[in-house]
Structure 1
Amino acid sequence: MKVSIYIIAVLLLGSCSSARVTDSWVSEAHKEYKPKKVLLIGLTDNISGRRLFEEQLKKEFTNRGVEAVESYAVFKPTFTNSKQTEEEIENEIKRLSNEGFDTVLISAVKGVDEKVNYSGDNFRVYYNWRQFGPYYYRYQNIYHLEGYYSKYKVYHIEASMFNLKENNDKSLVWIASYDIVDPSEVNTTVTNYVKAIIKSLEEHQLIDGD
């Protein structure tokens, strides 16, 4: 499960889960923005998860006529293996800009919530919920059945697009937040998340449809 968590963190759902967008925003100053060369960053310490996310996202951009490059093919190991200062990061941004990159899309896990789900029978509409007797009868299994409740986790993930040519507080082009519920199968999780990102970018007309 830990591997799945970090892969999603790409930043980084189960086979029957999906990535649900909870919020999205696009800058008024960038409504006509069209990225030409995008650096894709899955912010995770899991190398295989990072590659999977970035490669799938690259395929989607390429299919839409946008050049995209995975971060593992651009960043030197020394850049990702140690914490960088703000000055070092700015120097890296200058290097990227000199190499023709005009856009960065980065994704990271912002938080994880643990939830509890009721595991009993489905709600029965024929019960008279206004009377104590039927209500108690319905829920008394809480005392007697192990596993009456099941725990699951919700991962809050954020994806952001930045204009590298705008070296100021207006460089943020687009940002969106997603909830992924209890992921278990890595490939499906990443695929669903990538599709959700692409859908949002298309809706904001930052990229063309496939």
Structure 2
Amino acid sequence: MKSKLIAISMILLMGCSSTRLVSTWKNPDIVLFDAYQVLVVGMVQDDNARMEYETKFVEALKEQGVDAVRSMDLFDVEFTTSERSEEELEEVEQQLLDKGFDAILFTKVVGTENRRTFKEHINDVDKMFMRFTNDYLEHQEIYYDPEYYDTFNIYHSETSLYCICVGKEIELIWRGEVDVTEPANVNKAINSYIKLVTKSMGEEDVIF
């Protein structure tokens, strides 16, 4: 019984984690990649969330000795308010190259998944209901408790690192896929996300 409770507790603790690294990909032609000036781009509609994300990621990069700039400090306010053409983006790439940037760290949400969970009866893991009345009484809140089922969103996001290389098209160096469970505290979720991504890049000899 005790071992089962420990196992279930571990599963629940893991499930409570709001940020999870799903997978990573690194360009097989790149062994080490050092970046000296990185543009941090958070593709988010909410301006406050974008500012918070880009600011904290810039701070995390600077702590590691990497110069970084927020996209919101570089792009005009109007730039993200409407659709841009391929030619306009190529002009931006050239401007970044001219200003000494050698990498772009680009994060976006690529999908959202709605899920439902339900209250766990941890104390009754080993209970076998032999009578209908006991089973019914134990679980009847399913009928009337609005919080028995908890609906939440999982945001599937990607962070990609692109190299701005002279004489080349911008080349993908590294990509990480991360699932973020709808957080109660956005700031903590952003901190966890950045910590997870930077740790993974460091382990794969990217930037750090």
**Deviation at residue 189 of structure 1 after TM alignment:** 1.5
| Alignment-mate amino acid for residue 55 of structure 2 | E
| Residues 77-114 of structure 1: CA deviation (Å, up to 9, x unaligned) | 23222210011101110111111111000101111111
Moved more, 67-76 or 135-144: 135-144
Give the root-mean-square deviation of aligned CA atoms: 2.2
**Deviation at residue 51 of structure 1 after TM alignment:** 1.4
2:41 aligns with 41
2:186 aligns with 186
Q: Does 1:201 align with 2:201?
A: yes
Structure 1 segments, 4+ long, off by >6 Å, are none
Taking the TM superposition and a 5 Å limit, the aligned residue runs for 1:49-128 are 49-122=49-122, 124-128=124-128
CA distance in 1, matches of 2:98, 2:92: 10
CA distance in 1, matches of 2:125, 2:71: 53
| Residues 150-174 of structure 1: CA deviation (Å, up to 9, x unaligned) | 1111111111000111634x71000
Residues 155, 180 of structure 1: 8 Å contact kept: yes
Specify the structure having the higher radius of gyration (Cα).
Answer: 2
Question: How many residues matched?
Answer: 191
CA distance in 2, matches of 1:188, 1:195: 10
**Structure 2: runs of 5+ lacking an equivalent:** 1-15
CA 1:146–1:19: 2 relative to 1, 3 Å:
closer
| Alignment-mate amino acid for residue 53 of structure 2 | F
Residues 118, 149 of structure 1: 8 Å contact kept: yes
CA distance in 2, matches of 1:139, 1:180: 30
Query: Helix, strand or coil for the counterpart of 1:100?
Result: coil
Larger RCO: 1 or 2 (CA < 8 Å, sep 6+)? 1
| Alignment-mate amino acid for residue 39 of structure 1 | L
**Structure 1: runs of 5+ lacking an equivalent:** 1-15
| Alignment-mate amino acid for residue 175 of structure 2 | I
Structure 2 length-normalised TM:
0.82
If each structure's helix is expressed as a fraction of its own residues, which one has the higher value?
A: 2
1:9 aligns with none
Q: Does 1:156 align with 2:156?
A: yes
**Deviation at residue 136 of structure 1 after TM alignment:** 5.8
Using the aligned pairs only, state the percent identity: 28
